[in-house]
Every structure is written in C-alpha cells, then in structure tokens.
Structure 1
Amino acid sequence: MSSLELGNLAYLVLLTSAVAFWFFGSNRQSLGKTMQHAVLWGLIFLGVIAVVGLWDDIRSTVIPTQSVFSDSGRIEIPRGQDGHYRLTLDVNDAPVTFIVDTGASDIVLSKSDARRVGFDPDTLPYYGRAMTANGEVKTAPVTLKRVALEGIEDHNVSARINGGEMGQSLLGMAYLQRYDQITISGNRMILTR
C-alpha cells in the first residue's frame, strides 16, 4: 500500500469510528431497539441481494410456458416479455427452444443447437445463402431425423444451420406450414393440426 492509500484508509477508519461513537452515544438509552432495527435492515439488505441473484430462476418459473393439447392437435404458445413466441421441440431427441418466426422460410439452427442435435457445424458445407436483418449469411442444409412435440412428430424435416453468429434458433414457415391453422389471439399463438 502506498502512503496515500494508508492515509485514506486511516481517514475512513477514523470517520467510521466517529460516526459509530456518535450514533451509539446518542442512542444509548434505546440501544436494544437500535440493534433490532440494524438487524432488520441487514436482513432486508440480504433479501434484496438474494432476489437479485436468483432473479433468472424466479422469472423462469413465473413466465408461462407452452401448452400442448395433443388429443386435439392444438399447441398454445404464450407471447414472451420481449414480444416473441418461443416453442421447445425435441430435435433428434434433444430439446431445442426456437423463436417462432413467420418471416423465416426454413428452420434455422444456431451452431450451438446444431451441435446439441448431432451435427458438427465446423465440417458442414455452407453453400446456401439467406438474407437476414443483419445482411446475408451462409447456411448449410441438413435433414433433421425427428422433430417432436408431445404427440406430434415429424420425420426427415429439412433445416439449415446458420454459418454466422445467432443467439437462438428460428422456427420458420417450412415447419409452421405443417399445421392447418395458425392463430394469434390475445397474447397467445395457437397452432392447430
């Protein structure tokens, strides 16, 4: 520690001691009550820290999830806080969460999701091209052996792997057109087969 830092530390210790001495001196009549309040505020502070630290877990349990009514072939997808609809499908027996994108032509997997479902994105030929909001990207065509959602199952489904960086996979019209009806009502998207 430099002499400047030691001086600052000594000043802070002296200042804290003076404030603590004044506080306890002026509240010595009700020291027990003061300690109760200090403990209460300490617990409130710890509670706030816990909520902030666990916020993602709390939010994931509070946000509504997709509902599947397999007997009627109907899927209800709630709109997320960001305005997007998300649907989790089993792709080659691995769960993949997609953003439902009616503006996308195909199913487009991110590189990380492609690895999870059994593809090696580093060895695929990226000869396809797609126009996105961020410009043109290269894509690699693949075939998904199995795409399933509860009782609804499809085999040999065409898809593409995005050659660029992509935060989340997209569920485009190539998959959505397999449904007889797509309805948006309130804050829900309803797919009926």
Structure 2
Amino acid sequence: MNIMEDGPSLIWGVVCILLLISSLAARRLPLGYIAKAGLAWVAIFAALFAIFSFRFEFLGVWERVKADIAGTGGQTISGEAIELRRQDDGHYWLQANINGKPVRFMIDSGATITAVNANTASETGIEVDANGYPIILNTANGRVAAKRGVARSLSIGPHNIQNHQVVVSDSFGDVNVLGMNFLDSMASWKVEANMMVLQP
C-alpha cells in the first residue's frame, strides 16, 4: 500500500468519522450509544478502505475462481503461445472446443493418439467410423477396444486444427486425452518449471 497516494483518502475517512461522531454528540444521545455507533462506522470505513486498497488482488482472485468454474484454470494464451500450469493432480489440462463445443482434455505425451469417450464424441458430433474394425489400445486400465473417428475442428482460442484424428470408446470413462498426434501438430512444445508451453 502506498501511504503517500492513499493518505488523502485516509484523512478524508477520518474527517467523515469525526463529523459523524460530532453529529451524534450534538443530538445528546447516550455516550454508550455514540461509542457503539462510532465503532460501527469505523469498522465500515475500514472495510471499504481495505477493499479499495486491495481491489486488484480481489479481482485476481475472482478471475481465478471464474477460470476454475469454466475449466480454464491454469490456462492462458500469450501471443501465439498456449501456456498451461501443472494442476494439483500432477497433470496438464487444456480447455478446447471440438466442433465448437467446449471439452476439457488431459494432455498425455504417453498416449499415441487423442482419445475421446463415447459421450463426448456424441455431444460434439465427432464422426466415428462405426463400420471399421475396432482397434485395441493398451491403457492404464488394461486393453480396450476403440473405434477411429475425426474431429473436424479442434480449436484453442484463435488456434484451429482441422480433421484431427481420434479414437472413441465407452471404456475411457469421463476423461478425454490429447495424445502425441495433438502435440505433433504443434510447431513446438516444452515443459519448464511446472509450465507447459504449446506453440502452434
């Protein structure tokens, strides 16, 4: 807090409190009532002064809460780069749009191809090759059968990837994973000090 800049505001607040107390005293109210009223107004002015002084910090907290609710916590777009902060579960999460609809993905460099659960594929209009032979994938939960599909549009902010190849299965649970075929579509990507930076 800068005392020189906030000094006039502090003085003005003290003057207002003194005027209020003087007004109450002029009405010949009991001394105890005047003291309680004065303390109440001091507390109100102090709270307002604190809110004003820390308004930028409060705004930052609010922006963080909004980002967490929207699923974009830890995700920023700086120029052309997409920056992701490692989350408490140790993973990097990315909010993307599949065919214009928001989907939260975990980024996994150990996965060969982007994996989408059946519900997400249906909700976002991913084109699934229902007639093709299923492929067998080795996952953390064992071997699962999946079908190939195509996301016509996968976008993050202004960045758009067209005809992104995916696999779809009921066995993926609620998690959607961006694999190496997504990372390979980037011009570059790196991880430094708990930050992943994607450069489309």
Question: Shared topology, TM-score over 0.5?
Answer: yes
Work out which of the residue numbers 128, 140, 146 in structure 1 matches 2:135.
128
CA distance in 1, matches of 2:67, 2:97: 25
The structural deviation recorded for 1:97 is 0.4
The aligned counterpart of 2:181 is: 174
Corresponding position: 1:100 with 2:120: no
- Is 2:74–2:87's contact at 8 Å kept on the other side of the alignment? no
Aligned counterparts, 1:1-193, within 5 A: 60=69, 64-69=73-78, 72-119=79-126, 127-193=134-200
Distance in 2 (alpha carbons) for counterparts of 1:154 and 1:189: 19
Give SS of 2:147's match.
Answer: strand
CA distance in 2, matches of 1:116, 1:92: 10
| Structure 1 gap segments, 5+ residues each | 1-55
Aligned partner of residue 109 in structure 1, secondary structure:
strand
TM-fit CA distance, 1:124: 6.6
Residues 126 and 82 of structure 1: CA distance in aligned 2, closer, same or farther (over 3 Å): farther
* Root mean square deviation of aligned Cα: 2.8
Q: Which runs of 4+ in 1 moved over 6 A?
A: 56-59
Deviations 1:77-108 (A, max 9, x none): 11111111000111111111000000001110
The CA deviation at 1:60 is: 4.3
Query: Residue deviations 1:50-81, cap 9 Å, x none?
Result: xxxxxx999648x9431012xx4210011111
TM-score by length of 2: 0.60
* Letter matched to residue 150 of structure 2: T
1:185–1:137: structure 2 CA closer, same or farther, 3 Å change rule? same
* 58 and 179 in structure 1: CA distance in 2 versus 1, 3 angstrom threshold: closer
How many residues are matched? 136
